[in-house]
Amino acid sequence: MNRRVTAAASRLTVSRRDLLRGGLASAAGAWMLAAAAGRSAPAQQPAQQPAGNAENAGRAAAEAPGVVRGRIRQSVMGWCFQPMDAVTLAKHCLDIGIEAMEGIPAEAYPQVTQMGLKISLTGSHGFANGPLDPDNHAMVEAKLREGIDLAARYGAPNVITFTGMTKAGISEAAAKKNCVACWKRVLPYAEEKGVGIVLEHLNTRDDSHPMKGHPGYWGDDLELCADLIRAVDSPRFKLLFDIYHVQVMHGDLIRRIRQYSPIIGHYHTAGCPGRGELDTSQEIFYPPVIRAILETGYKGYLAQEFIPTWDDPVAALRHAASVCDV
């Protein structure tokens, strides 16, 4: 039986994908199982997108204050804003009040950090070829060590890792054993350098765009990722809780944030569905989600990782930063 079904008795929910496989939900209704948007607005309502008018939305969001309270440490994922170069994006981050960047070329680190920004996360081996396949172990370990060295050099708290794609002939038990063994060989180096490794959970349901979903990714179940982290058993190995991916696969965001808070080391944002702006066209209402994160005592970074659709991507980023600045 599927690992998600056998483990369901001890978990909060059965995964939505298993419900579909079990015939308990129709394909048409699957997307509607996600958590509903919150009902109440914060005392200071952030600028919201006027429905159906991206141009006006961008104009309104350009007037958003950006980061004022600064209770949550915000970063930005650079790949989302290509073809804008890292230095140009860094200038906008400084203006908005975003304090860090990730997902930018390592060659840009010196200039970006000289401008006063921090690096919140460094890259490693990518999500396709991961440690579940022992043929990848030498590459994964080398790339993680490179990422750890970069993180230590520039003061980044974490380097990212992934499970990799499912491979025929590798069982669930073997995949788990392979991943844990590979990460455990690298962890002493990370601990020596004072750098964390964060495992990202990705969704496998969205096949509309290569960066909106990752069909075939093995680590698509949040509890599986948590099990891997517990098996590695190091304070330097934690979960990258991508709010968008968790919403697509599981929903119930605030409860899951509270449940997994002891092992969460990094957050990513995006609207859902579509991985667009954090506006009113999306089903995630971010202010209470961010407040829940803060209530857990989290002190790390939350990186904006949405794919802009507005005419002005900088306005979209300013808007997102304002929405999360609770």
Q: Which domains does the chain have, with CATH numbers?
A: 72-250+259-324 (3.20.20.150)
**pLDDT score recorded for residue 16:** 33
Under a CB-based contact definition with an 8 Å cutoff, are residues 78 and 104 in contact? yes
Beta-carbon contacts of residue 106 (< 8 Å; ≥ 6 apart): 122, 123, 150
**pLDDT score recorded for residue 63:** 74
In tens digits, the chain (326 residues) has pLDDT values of: 444 433 433 333 333 333 333 332 332 232 222 322 332 333 344 444 444 445 545 455 557 899 999 999 999 999 999 999 999 999 999 999 999 999 999 999 999 999 999 999 999 999 999 999 999 999 999 999 999 999 999 999 999 999 999 999 999 999 999 999 999 999 999 999 999 999 999 999 999 999 999 999 999 999 999 999 999 999 999 999 999 999 999 999 999 999 999 999 999 999 999 999 999 999 999 999 999 999 999 999 999 999 999 999 999 999 999 999 99
Compute, in degrees rounded to 10, the torsion defined by CA atoms 233, 257, 158, 123.
110
Q: Which residues sit opposite 158 in a β-bridge?
A: 121, 196
Under a CB-based contact definition with an 8 Å cutoff, are residues 121 and 266 in contact? yes
Report d(CA 238, CA 228) in Å as an integer.
9
Report d(CA 101, CA 306) in Å as an integer.
14
Would you call the peptide bond into 273 cis, given omega within 30 degrees of 0 as the criterion?
Answer: yes
Report d(CA 215, CA 303) in Å as an integer.
23
- 278: closest CA among 222, 325, 240, 213? 325
Which amino acid is located at 16 in the chain? R
**pLDDT score recorded for residue 252:** 97
Report d(CA 202, CA 241) in Å as an integer.
9
Q: Cα dihedral sign for 129, 132, 136, 140?
A: positive
Q: Supply the DSSP symbol for 201.
A: P
Report d(CA 155, CA 68) in Å as an integer.
24
Q: Which three-class secondary structure state does DSSP give residue 120?
A: strand
Strand pairing category for 100-102 and 118-122:
parallel
**pLDDT score recorded for residue 287:** 98
Q: What pTM was estimated for this model as a whole?
A: 0.83
